[in-house]
Amino acid sequence: MSTFDIRRARPGDERSLSFLGQATMLQTYAGIISSRNLNDLIETEQTREDYRALLDNPNVSIWLAEVERGQAAVGYLALAPRPDGEATGEPGKAVLEIKRLHVLHRFHRNGLGKRLVDEATKEARLRKVDKLVLVVNALNDEAIQFYRTYGFLKTGDTSYRAGDMDYPCYLFALDLGPRAIG
C-alpha cells in the first residue's frame, strides 16, 4: 500500500498538474465524451499555461497529492470563487467551487479524494464560506457516489460545453453554515 503526501501546489507545479489533468480526463471521460470533444477539452483546459494562470491567481487554491515514494503527482483539487449566488440561487451567500478534483484511477479507493476535499473544506471554513459547490458530469457515476458519500447534495441540473457539444451535468453543494455538520 502506498502512502501519500498532500501539499499546496506552487508555481513550478504546472507541468505535473497539466500531465495529471490530461491523464485523468482521458481516464474519466473516454466513453462519456466523444474523442474529438475530449481532445478539444484537454487541449483548451489542461495546458501548462492554464495551470500557471490558476497558480498565479491568489483566489485559487490547489492541493496536490503525491505518492510518497518518488513524489509523483497522482491527484489534485482546485478550489476557486464562484460568482455570488450563481450556483445556489441564494444571493449574498459566500460560495467556493471545487473546479477540478482528479485522482489517477490506479490510486482510487485510497482516501485521496476525501483528503483533498477535507483540505478544500478547511480552506472554505477559514474563508468563512457558506457553501462548497461543484459541477459533475451526469454520467460520471463514480464521482457522483463519492460526492454523495461526502455529504454533497444535488441542487440542480446544468450542462458543460466540450468541443461542439453540451454534456448534461449536475450541480452539487455542501452546506458549511453554522448548522452544518462537519
Which pLDDT score, from 0 to 100, does residue 178 have? 65
Give the integer Cα–Cα distance in Å for 49 and 68: 27
22-30 average pLDDT score:
90
Q: Which residue is listed with cell 504546472?
A: 14
Higher-pLDDT residue of 124, 32: 124
| Domain 4-175: CATH architecture, name and number where available | 3-Layer(aba) Sandwich (3.40)
Q: Which residue has the cell 498538474?
A: 17
Q: Which amino acid is at 88?
A: T
Which pLDDT score is estimated for 182? Answer: 47
**68 close to 83: Cβ distance less than 8 angstroms:** no
Global pTM?
Answer: 0.88
Residues 92-128: pLDDT tens digits?
A: 667 899 999 999 999 999 899 999 999 999 999 999 8
- Say yes or no to pLDDT of 15 above 60: yes
Query: What region does 27 belong to: left with phi over 0, alpha with psi -120 to 50, or beta?
Result: alpha
Beta-sheet strand order (sheet of 4-8)? 4-8, 61-67, 73-81, 95-103, 131-137, 165-175, 153-162
To the nearest 10°, the Cα dihedral for 123, 87, 91, 95? 0
Give the mean pLDDT of 133-156: 95
Identify whether the C-beta of residue 27 lies closer than 8 Å to the C-beta of residue 142.
no
The pLDDT tens digits for 33-89 are: 888 988 888 898 899 999 999 999 999 999 999 998 888 999 999 999 886 555 555
